[in-house]
Structure 1
Amino acid sequence: MPEEEKNEKESEINTSPAENQQDGEMEKTPNKMRPFENGAAPRPLATKAEGRTLNKDLKGTKKKTSIRTYADDVAGLIKSGTSLSDIAMAEGKKRAERGEQKLKSLSKDGKSRSNRFFIVFSVILFALGMMAVLGSLFFRKSEKGPEETGAASSIIFANSFREIDISALGRIELLKKINQERNSAELPLGAISNLLLEREKEGIKAALKADEFLNLLEVRAGEIFIRSLEKDFMLGAHSFDGNQGFLLFRVKSFDKAFGRMIAWEKFMLDDLWPMFYNSKPSVEAESSSVFEGKFKDIVLRNRDARILEDDGKGTALVYSFPDQRHLVITTDKSTLIEVFERLSAGRFKN
């Protein structure tokens, strides 16, 4: 035997029991930390029990994350005894319900869009209407003549205003002045001008009141009649078959005013004709000493009126209480009707 082989065998035999015991323990305990080569960090080795637990966890995870398909649902329903026709009907019903929901949502969207369109359209119409009204007012102001004033008030709507200074005028001069202003007013057909009577008091011009006006005219209607009227009144000219004059009073006491008007009828034409006519109308009289006109009842636009006709069956004077708050005296039935309509239209101040 060579000498080298002999030395190797002796070294194997002389290995210490401690080293042999350490090697055996490492083989028996595989979960212990084994050193890696080249000085790497040791890693733990899993036992068989730990491996079985890991496999169970992985299987459970696979079952939990499995995807349920429509085919699985159908198969489950068939196993439970549901027929294919029932499944098809149920599916069709679900689709129909989804379709109805879509239609409802679409109809709601359509309604909301139509509502928005209606609101926008209404706003546009309102704006156009306001522009038309403002334009009309501006156009009317631009058309007014130099004799018109916008600051005057009127019982009914007047197309124009005409200021008349009557300071220091007596009865005859006042009647002639009114007749002159009435005739000279240039008005379109159907228009009404408010003839504002003013006189100066202590350096200030003031509108004439109803009682002041009637007292200046020295009418024979009586104090009871004058006190039955409000302070404000309107003297106007209506363009129809010439310029027809009219008087419009507000009434405080209808019973007193109506009773005194009947008593005033026999003097009314004599008291008023100079401001309504260039010459006195010819009317048949019952007495040569005192004029007693024959007023009679008529109905105009469902309103009672009293008329005095001239010899040619034309209108000399006509008056009416269109309501218990107003009294109109004029020379033409068409003018009386026009005043009725403007009162009814509400284009006056109460």
Structure 2
Amino acid sequence: MNPEEKEDTSKDFGKVIDALHNKQKLSSLRTYQGDMAEFIKDKNESVISVAVKEKVRDERREEQIEKVEEKIDLYHPIQTPTSNKKGFQINLTMIFLSLLLIVGGSVGFFYAFEFIKNGSPPKTATKEEIIPYNNLITLANVTNVNLGEEFGKLSSSAGINIVKISDANGESFQKIQDFLNFLQISPPSELVRTLRDEYALGVISQNEVNSSFMVITVDDFGRAFAGMLDWEKSLEKDLFFLSRELPKEPEVQTDLEEPIQPTQPSETIFTWKDVIIKNKDTRALVDEGGRSIIAYTFLDKNTILITDNTLVIGDITSAYNTRSVAR
């Protein structure tokens, strides 16, 4: 080394020594720990408080994310397997109800069609036999001998009362032929061949006066009409329990000194005549004064009313017509 180079090196070394003596420091490298320490020193914060704030900030971020997801689900719901299952169950229920309505409608249409075709209206829940009635009376231990007497003793309420009869053995007569056998009578065969099983016995009470009646049903109007005309010969006798006694004429009192010797009353003559009762063609057994003891009329082509009092034909007809409309 020459003397000039040695002189330059010593000058550089001297500059380094001077710098160290002047306490000049080189800039240090920044780290995360250094930044945290500087932040804690400047903000007067602890490590714990910083961690707490960091956690709060994370929670707020999560809440915001959840709110955004809820809004997304609200406007654009995602179908899960569970919702699909519920939807499937709802669809099955709707299909079942639809089928049920279709079947029910078909059944209803069928019965409506049958109703229109046959012209037979549905029955209503009213108390009725062949005709509506207000009360039901039972006569037990009755014979064909005392039937008329028992009918006369009936204490009936106002309106129409249906009477059910049973004999000494407790046997009731559900069919008209059973009742005719009980009476031991034989109506004309023309009428018997067209009789239905359904019939009714009853008493109608008006102004505390009882009137008896019988209703029978038939299949053929022509045969029934001819049979009833033939039965007129013995109808009063056969249905004796329906016949009533007419009130006797009052005796005339005189002021003569000597009483008039009573004369033998003349026999009353009854004949069958056509009469009109409440616009109904009626056959009645009447005397010369027009008083009847038994009469009959057709309520319709299949129903015959027999009664001991023509005055009740109108009320019984009205009750029967009410039943025909209601059922």
Structure with a larger share of its residues in helix: 1
User: Larger relative contact order (C-alpha < 8 A, sep ≥ 6)?
Assistant: 2
TM score, norm. by length of structure 2: 0.49
